[in-house]
Amino acid sequence: MLILGGVPEETKQDILKISGFSERSLPFKYLGMPIQTTRLKKQDSECLVENICARIHSYGARKFSYAGRLVLVKAVLSSMFVLPKGIIAKIEAVCRNFLWDNSTDYRRVPLVAWTTVCKPKEEGGLGIKDQELCNQAMVGRLVNWVAEKRNSIRHAGNTPTGCYEWLKGAGTIVQWFRAVWNDWVVPKHQFMGWLYAHGALRTNDELLMYGLDIDVNCYLCGQAAECMDHVFFGCRYSKQMINWLNQLTALILPDQHILEWCVDRQGSKLQKGVQAAVGMGAIYHIWHQRNCSKNDCVLMVPKRVAEQIVAEIRLRIRRRDENEMTIGDRDWLKNMKFL
Ligand SMILES: [Zn+2]
């Protein structure tokens, strides 16, 4: 597509001849959206919501993990442009439902509020952009570009990202973000670690508060009422698994407050990253086993789970170029039994 404006007729004819394009005038549709000189109306943009729903339905045919769905939601939202408020709200709702339940419809209460999800990762979010602010930033960028006059948004830089950052303002950094979002942590463990950090994993005690009549015992040991503190810190099964993890490596993971342990790690970037990866692996697999036991009545023995975590981390280490590691890091990995 080539858009021509204010071009002499002769030049236009030359361009059309050379390019082989045919001429059309406004309004016309591009990617299902009407392109016109006047402001888009809500009904004009409805087709965009339908297109996005159709795209998500096609994704929904496959089973994606949370991490996979997050990538797709970001791809959909990053391709948006200036739209009416009502349409932004609809598209966000579709993406939100897809992220939490693999569907375009609202079927499940989100585990974490959308306002939190839309924060940057350092501030505890998932780095999805607030679309309303994005819209304002894009409008601000256009205003600057067209007018080039003094405008408060202009001081934020002349890029949509600069405008967005300025409109959003600085937030509070969360301590745990580097422990969860670092390259050594397995991507699917990152998402679970993020949910854990927000206290968003729903255990039986919480479901009971919603009035659901369910078995209250821990799915891992069957010997105590299930709550977050028990599953991750008090459960005999989880303690045994952590104990095996410490035997298979030379790390000393505590059997409680794993996330805090990950945050407090010292050493090089690699050493902190690998330790956080083990901690996040422990959190992920404890919860995964809990769900396997709950949904399928299958539970792996603690030793086997620990072996799986170590194998996953070893695989990530083997994929890295050893020559790019310092001698200190290689020695550390050997001492910790990862190499
Ligand atoms: Zn238990």
DSSP state, residue 198: T
- Residue 217's φ and ψ, nearest 5 degrees, are -75, 155
221 and 307 in a single domain? The answer is yes
What is the distance in A from the centroid of ligand 1 to the CA of 313? 26
| pLDDT at residue 17, rounded to an integer | 77
Q: How many domains does the chain have?
A: 2
Residue 133 region by backbone torsions, left for phi larger than 0, else alpha for psi between -120 and 50, else beta: alpha
User: Are 219 and 308 part of one and the same domain?
Assistant: yes
pLDDT score, position 77: 79
pLDDT in tens, 33-72: 555 556 666 666 777 778 778 877 777 656 778 888 888 8
Would residue 142 count as lying in a domain? Answer: no
What local confidence, expressed as pLDDT, does residue 168 receive?
77
Quote the pLDDT of residue 197: 96
In a domain? residue 145 = no
pLDDT score, position 84:
76
Q: Any idea how long the chain is? A: 339
Of the residues 111, 139, 168, which one is the last residue of a structural domain? 111
Residue 184 falls inside a structural domain: yes
Q: Retrieve residue 297's tokens.
A: 């009545």
How far apart (Å, rounded) are the C-alpha atoms in residues 231 and 224?
Answer: 9
324 alpha carbon to ligand 1 midpoint, in Å? 42
Q: How far is the CA of 270 from the centre of ligand 1 (A)?
A: 33
What share of the chain in percent tops pLDDT 70? 80
Measured between alpha carbons, how far is 125 from 137 in angstroms, rounded to an integer? Answer: 20
Domain-terminating residue out of 55, 89, 111: 111
* Cα 120 to middle of ligand 1, angstroms: 34
Cα–Cα distance for residue pair 188/186, rounded to 1 Å: 6
84 close to 42: Cβ distance less than 8 angstroms: yes
Residues 326 and 242 in one domain: yes
Residues of the chain with pLDDT under 70: 1-6, 25-44, 60-62, 79-82, 139-160, 206-215
Residue 90 lies inside a defined structural domain of this protein: yes
Asked if 186 contacts 311 with a C-beta cutoff of 8 angstroms, the reply is: no
Residues 80 and 225 in one domain: no
> Separation of 229 CA from ligand 1 center, angstroms?
10
C-alpha dihedral (112, 117, 120, 123), degrees to nearest 10? -20
Q: Provide the residue range defining the domain that includes 331.
A: 177-335
The pLDDT of residue 135: 76
Is residue 98 assigned to a domain? yes
Identity at 30, one-letter amino acid code: Y
Q: What is the pLDDT of residue 165?
A: 77
- Residue 330: predicted pLDDT: 95
Find the 301 Cα to ligand 1 centroid distance in Å. 13
Residue 152 lies in a domain: no
Residue 212 and residue 88 share a domain: no
Regarding whether 208 and 62 lie in a shared domain, the answer is: no
Ligand 1: centre distance to CA 225 (Å): 8
Identify whether residues 280 and 182 lie together within a single domain.
yes
Asked if residue 23 is part of any domain, the answer here is yes
Å from CA of 290 to ligand 1 middle:
9
Neighbouring CB atoms inside 10 A of 290's CB total 22
**What's the pLDDT at 8?**
76
Q: Say yes or no: 83 and 184 in one domain.
A: no
pLDDT of residue 238: 96
- Please tell me whether residues 187 and 65 are part of one structural domain: no
Residue 94 Cα distances to 57, 65, 106, 107, 238, angstroms:
10, 17, 8, 11, 37
Write the Ramachandran bin of 68: left for phi over 0, alpha for psi from -120 to 50, otherwise beta: alpha
Do 181 and 103 fall within a single domain?
no
> Which pLDDT tens digit goes with each residue over 166-213?
777 888 999 999 999 999 999 889 999 999 999 998 887 766 666 666
Tell whether 81 and 183 lie within a shared domain.
no
Same structural domain, 65 and 184: no
d(CA 323, CA 246): 27
221 Cα to the center of ligand 1, angstroms = 4
Q: Which two tokens stand for residue 260?
A: 């805090």
Would residue 190 count as lying in a domain?
yes
Who's near 67: CB < 8 A, 6+ residues apart?
Answer: 187, 188, 190, 191
